[in-house]
Structure 1
Amino acid sequence: MPVRDERGLYERICLEGFQAGLSWATILRKRPAFRAAFADFDPDVVAGFGGSDVDRLLADAGIVRHRGKIEAAVGNARATVALRAEGGLPGLVWSFRPAATPRPRTAAEVPTRSAESEALSRALRARGFRFVGPTTMYALMEAVGIVDTHLMGSHRRGSSGVWPEPEGRA
């Protein structure tokens, strides 16, 4: 379903970064612990985390204990707060919605990146975000409804309402 709020997008950027190199099952299983550890992904709170908080998080067995990813989540909170002066994270992320969404008929046709995800990655990196590569940002775009990569004919295709299929063409 579409995610258009700052906290929701910040959380998903963080979780996509933590997922890099791991299975989604691991991240989803740990999601409650991530929310507890990162103040329910409140960017204002996480932006205030310091070295002792990073040490605390590195000792938290409930989350992925990777210093670079933890420090990126803190830095990304600071970048999220700073981005408010430019209109905010939701406006920036959603500005990369393509004119059309993919129309895959097989799993092999589902893309893993796009020109828009590459541009979003560059835009976020330019503003201080980390762990936001183009493949990771494409996964974010799928997760928040910016693109719909459900297979044509899938019962989930178009269910977000962002990309409704024309009648009789699903």
Structure 2
Amino acid sequence: MKLLVVSDNHGWDSILTDLKRRYEHKVDAMIHCGDSELKADNPAVEGYTIVRGNCDMEDQFPNDVLESVEDCRVFVTHGHRYDVKMTLLNLSYKAKEHSADFVFFGHSHTAGVEQQDGVIYLNPGSISLPRGRREKTYAIVEVDKHQTAVRFFDEKHHEVENMRTTFSR
């Protein structure tokens, strides 16, 4: 399984179009963790599983999505409703409630990934306004029967190599 995860483009629709053109037929799902600031009928968001962020006015985007991709359960949210800038505890309760293998979220604009109790928590960072690093980032998650690999890329699609992380399954 291979997933594209992006968040917090804040109106920059051409980057979503570029990501779609690059990955649409190479990944099993394209996931957007909110704050697109785009309308649901904008062609740039077509094909993405997308949630509503605190800066999104589009009420057609759901607050949370539980997606099954191959044999994995993926919980997607923006994160502002779960206090992700303070703790992952609230998200961990949702992960347990939904038996999620992955939790993807944005909001803080800070890229990072960690595993707790077998669940992988991923914030792809912001593709437009990063915090904590200079790179504008998105993530590619690749899962096979032995491991999960998470790689971060900048807006020019260069890997941010010191952020590569692998988890055993």
With the length of structure 2 as denominator, give the TM-score of the two structures: 0.29
Q: Give the strand-richer structure, 1 or 2.
A: 2
Higher relative contact order (CA 8 A, sep 6+): 1
Q: Give the helix-richer structure, 1 or 2.
A: 1
With the length of structure 1 as denominator, give the TM-score of the two structures: 0.29
Higher CA-based Rg? 1
